[in-house]
Amino acid sequence: MSALQQRTLDLIRSNETQILTQWQENLAAAGQGQDNRISSQELQAQNREFWRLFLQVIPVAEAGTLHGQEGQAIRRFLEDLSADRARRGFNSSETASVIFSLKRPLFELVQGGFADAPAQLGDQLWAISELLDVLGLQTVKAFQKTREEVIQRQQEEMLELSTPVVKLWEGVLALPMIGTLDSQRTQVVMESLLQRIVDTGSEIAIIDITGVPTVDTLVAQHLLKTVTAIRLMGADAIISGVRPQIAQTIVHLGLDLQGIVTKANLADALALALKRTGQTVTRTAI
C-alpha cells in the first residue's frame, strides 16, 4: 500500500469540515439516513467516529498496517458498523458505500492541492484509493459474516418452529412433522423431543408424519434414528400418519420398520398411547 505524504495529511486535516460536509451530502444523495432504518443523527455520529479513527490510521497506512495493531480500532469499528447495518436490513452495497462515498471529496481535495505536481497527484490518489478499498472490503467481509450468522439463526429458529413438541396427555407427547426430513432437521427433532421427554417424564412419544410428503430410504433412516433415541431414553415411540401411498413406498423400498408401531392417523396413535398408559376416554351422555 502506498504511503500518504505529509502534504496530503495536512490537506486532509485542514479541510476536515469541507470533507465531512461533502461526504454527508453524498450519502444523503444515495438515500442514506432518509428512511426509518437509520436516522440522519445516527449516521452523522457513525461518520464522525469513523473519521476520528481514519485520521488516526492514515499516517501509518502503508505496508499492510491496517491488518496489524495500528488498524485494530478501525477494523473493530467497521465490524460493529457492518453487524449493525446487517441487522437493520441494509445490503452489502449500501453498507460499503459509507466508506466508498468518501473517495470523491478526498479525490477532489487532493486534485486541487497537487495541481502543480501531476506525478505526486497520481501517487497520492492511488494511496487514498488503496486505503479506502481495504477499509471497504473489510466492511463487506464483516457484513457477509454477520449476514450469514443471521441467516443461520433464522434457519435454526424456523426448524424449531416447524418441529413443535406438543403434550397431548399426561405422559404422552406428539411431534407433528411437516415438510421434508433431512439430517439437520433430524438432529433438531431429536434434541427438542428428548429434552421434552426428560422435562415431562413422558412414557410415549408420537411422531406424526401426516405432513411429510414422501418417505424414502433416507427419511426412513432418520425416523429410525429418532425412534432409537426415544427408546434409549426409556420411552416408547409410535409413528402415525402412515398413508396408503407411504405404506406402498416403504414396501417397495424394502425398508425394515419391524418393531416400530405405526398407525394411520394421530387419533389412533393417541388411543393406543392412552391404552398403554392405562387410561381410557369415555363419552359422557349429553
Strand order in the sheet with 261-263: 166-169, 172-178, 204-211, 236-240, 261-263
In this structure, are strands 172-178 and 166-169 parallel, antiparallel, or unpaired?
antiparallel
* Residue at grid coordinates 470523491: 104
> What pLDDT band is residue 286 in, cutting at 50, 70 and 90?
low
pLDDT (average), residues 88-109: 89
Residue 83 has pLDDT above 50, yes or no: yes
More confident residue, 31 or 18: 18
Task: Kindly tell me if the per-residue pLDDT of 156 is higher than 60.
Answer: yes
End-to-end CA gap in the chain: 87
Phi-psi region of 284 (alpha: psi -120 to 50; beta: other; left: phi over 0): beta
Mean pLDDT within 74-90 = 87
Q: 8: how many CB neighbours lie within 10 A of its CB?
A: 23
pLDDT in tens, 263-280: 989 999 999 998 888 887
Secondary structure class of 283 (helix, strand, coil)? coil
Integer Cα distance of 156 and 188 in angstroms: 8
Percent of the chain residues topping a pLDDT of 90: 22
**Grid cell in block for residue 29:** 444523495
DSSP string of 221-276, one letter each residue: HHHHHHHHHHHHTT-EEEEE---HHHHHHHHHHT---TT-EEESSHHHHHHHHHHH
Average pLDDT, rounded, for the chain: 84
**pLDDT the model gives residue 236:** 92
Q: Answer for the pair 90, 84: CB distance below 8 angstroms, yes or no.
A: no
For residue 167, report the phi and psi dihedrals to the nearest 5 degrees.
Answer: -85, 110
Question: Would you say residue 69 has pLDDT above 90?
Answer: no
Q: For residues 160 and 194, is the Cβ–Cβ distance under 8 A?
A: no
Apex 222 CA angle, 219 and 225, nearest 5: 155
Lowest mean pLDDT among 19-23, 32-36, 139-143, 169-173: 32-36
Model pLDDT, residue 163: 67
* pLDDT, average across residues 42-68: 79
Number of DSSP helices (H) and strands (E) in the chain, helices first: 11, 5
Average pLDDT for residues 43-66, to the nearest whole number? 80
Domains parsed from the chain with CATH numbers: 6-159 (1.10.490.130), 166-276 (3.30.750.24)
φ/ψ region of 234 (left if φ > 0, alpha if ψ in -120 to 50, else beta) reads left
Helices marked H in 58-117: 72-88, 92-100, 103-113
Query: Do you know the residue count of the chain?
Result: 286
**What does the pLDDT read at residue 66?**
66
Q: What pLDDT is attached to residue 63?
A: 43
Above pLDDT 70, what percent of the chain? Answer: 91
Residue-level pLDDT at 64 = 53
Q: Which pLDDT tens digit goes with each residue over 178-219?
A: 777 777 777 777 788 888 999 999 999 999 988 888 777 777
Indicate whether this model's pTM tops 0.85.
no
Contact 186, 225 (CB under 8 A): yes
pLDDT above 80 for 4: yes
Q: What is the pLDDT of residue 212?
A: 81
